[in-house]
Amino acid sequence: MLELAAESLQANHDIVYTAVAQDWHALQFASNQLRNEKELVLVAMKQATEAIQYASEVVLSDKSLYFDAVTKGSDIFRFAPESVRKDKVLMLHAVQYDHRALKFAPAKLLADRDIILAAVRHDGFALRHAAEELHRDTEVVLQAARSDPRVLELAHRSLWEDREFVLKAVRLDARALLKSSIELRNDRVFMLDCVKVNYQASHFATPEISKLLEAFSEAEKNGARGDAGKRAQTMPAHIQRSRR
């Protein structure tokens, strides 16, 4: 076992490479010089990405090691120095595989619209990690809600006064109306628009608007029946007889 081997053996290139190829844990007992070799660390990482924790500081700072590793999970960032975690290109790549990489991102990247959009496409609840200003961003919030409408709970309160945002939110989930302002729910035109994009919206209207929506619905039905009757009257007699 490399753990019990003499220092000369722990510094022996062939012995250490063989040991690490058999068990990645052996990397921690390699000499400092060998742990400074990127190739040896890669041998260990093929077995388990967390093997990177035993790499030297020089190797840990090598961003190229992380691009393949993050496709298997974001925990590798636990061992990454700040210089790696603050790299936008790497983090943008990582969140497309595991949005939890945001847990290791610095504040600047949590306010980066491109990164958060990529993360919420993977999982809407990644919005939890985003900076507050992105909770006010209509596109970001709606993109997140497309994967799970419950994410709408994370939208900033200012968005619930925005007619366009609420209408798009209602299209995804009628219950979004419960978060909107009472002024919007009392707006006849707006509520009619909501019902058009999601018929369940009528369940969340105020009592007064509910009566109006019912009356409007009934009028539409009557109008449809009247149109059908008029069409029947204009049909040639032989067609009317054949339809009886």
Query: Considering 91, 123, 147, which residue would you say is the last residue of a domain?
Result: 147
Close Cβ partners of 183 (under 8 Å, ≥ 6 residues apart): 161
Asked whether residue 59 carries a pLDDT value surpassing 60, the answer given is yes
- Quick one: 97 and 162 in the same domain? no
What's the pLDDT at 128?
96
Distance between the two ends of the chain, CA-based, in angstroms?
93
- Quick one: 162 and 244 in the same domain? yes
Please write the tens of the pLDDT for every residue from 134-143: 999 999 999 9
Span 195-204, average pLDDT: 89
What's the pLDDT at 35?
95
Q: Which two tokens stand for residue 50?
A: 């967390």
What's the pLDDT at 186?
87
Q: Considering the chain, what percentage of its residues have pLDDT values greater than 70?
A: 87
pTM of the predicted model as reported, rounded to 2 decimal places: 0.79
- Quick one: 161 and 244 in the same domain? yes
Query: Considering 94, 126, 147, which residue would you say is the last residue of a domain?
Result: 147
What's the pLDDT at 204?
85
- Quick one: 133 and 70 in the same domain? yes
Q: Over the range 182-221, which residues count as b (16 or more CB within 10 Å of their CB) and which as e?
A: eebbebeebbbebbeebeebbebbeeebeeebeeeeeeee
What's the pLDDT at 124?
96
Query: Would you tell me how many other CB atoms lie within 10 Å of the CB of residue 160?
Result: 18
Asked whether residue 234 carries a pLDDT value surpassing 80, the answer given is no
pLDDT higher at 65 or 2: 65
Strands (E), 82-129: none
Asked whether residue 166 carries a pLDDT value surpassing 80, the answer given is yes
Q: Which domain holds residue 97?
A: 64-147
Query: Considering 15, 41, 60, which residue would you say is the last residue of a domain?
Result: 60
H helix or E strand, kind and range, residue 44? helix 38-45
The answer to whether the beta carbons of residues 27 and 40 sit under 8 Å apart is yes
What's the pLDDT at 58?
94
The Cα–Cα gap between 42 and 234 comes to: 81
What's the pLDDT at 221?
64
Look at the chain and report how many structural domains it folds into: 3
Average pLDDT across the chain, whole number: 88
The Cα–Cα gap between 214 and 192 comes to: 11
Q: Which two tokens stand for residue 146?
A: 């497309």
- Quick one: 103 and 74 in the same domain? yes
- Quick one: 16 and 76 in the same domain? no
The Cα–Cα gap between 154 and 114 comes to: 18
